[in-house]
């Protein structure tokens, strides 16, 4: 009986876009799993895009690293990114936006994105971003690319 219950539990967890081990916000519209590439570093991550109004979305990077030598994983939330919805596509973009890091209550200018843009179409998310050039050397000008799906 325990094996049957365990099998049922595992099959439900495997078909879900969000598992119980993530720190994704509740009531998320979707979590997209795919490869996040920053320079020559690539890792599999989850990113959610949540519509916060008819004209804005929040973009949440869960538990990510941007370099092999990066000692910690962090959460990043880019809030109130302007978006346009048309023909089943949500396209979003912003410039010079300060993200929220981990559980910080204020945006963090030392992690400013010079650009962030992406699109959600069906079950696919494509995202590109670049950090500001005037940041700490290890972050300045870093380019991000992501392509993922939500099953």
pLDDT in tens, 82-124: 999 999 999 999 999 999 999 999 999 999 999 999 999 999 9
List, in order, residues 6 or more apart from 55 with CB less than 8 Å away.
Answer: 82, 83, 84
pTM for the model stands at 0.78
- In the chain, count H helices and then E strands: 1, 9
pLDDT at residue 26 in the model: 45
Confidence at 67, pLDDT banded by 50, 70, 90: confident
For residue 99, what are its two tokens? 């993200």
For residue 54, what are its two tokens? 């008819």
Q: What's the rounded mean pLDDT across residues 5-29?
A: 38
First to last CA, the chain: 29
Q: Which helix (H) or strand (E) holds 53?
A: none
d(CA 5, CA 134): 54
Q: Three-state SS for 81?
A: strand
Q: What's the rounded mean pLDDT across residues 59-76?
A: 91
d(CA 101, CA 108): 7
Choose between 113 and 3: higher pLDDT: 113
pLDDT in tens, 23-64: 444 444 469 999 999 989 999 999 999 999 999 999 999 999
Contact status, residue 76 vs residue 60, Cβ threshold 8 Å: yes
Q: What's the rounded mean pLDDT across residues 130-143?
A: 93
Q: 83-116: b or e for each residue (b if 16 or more CB lie within 10 Å)? A: beeeeeebbbbbeebbbbeeeeeeeeeebbbbbb
pLDDT at residue 69 in the model: 87
Confidence at 74, pLDDT banded by 50, 70, 90: very high
pLDDT at residue 70 in the model: 87
């Amino acid at each position: 009986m325990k094996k049957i219950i365990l099998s049922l539990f595992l099959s439900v967890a495997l078909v879900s876009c969000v598992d119980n081990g993530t720190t994704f916000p509740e009531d998320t519209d979707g979590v997209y799993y795919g490869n996040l590439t920053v320079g020559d570093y690539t890792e599999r991550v989850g990113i959610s895009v949540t519509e916060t109004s008819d004209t804005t979305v929040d973009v949440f990077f869960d538990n990510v690293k941007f370099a092999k030598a990066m000692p910690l994983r962090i959460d990043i939330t880019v809030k109130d990114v302007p978006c346009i919805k048309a023909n089943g596509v949500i396209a979003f973009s912003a410039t010079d936006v300060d993200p929220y890091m981990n559980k910080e209550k204020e945006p963090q200018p030392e992690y400013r994105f010079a650009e962030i843009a992406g699109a959600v179409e069906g079950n696919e998310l494509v995202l590109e971003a670049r950090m500001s050039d005037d940041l700490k050397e290890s972050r300045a000008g870093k380019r991000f690319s992501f392509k993922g799906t939500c099953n």
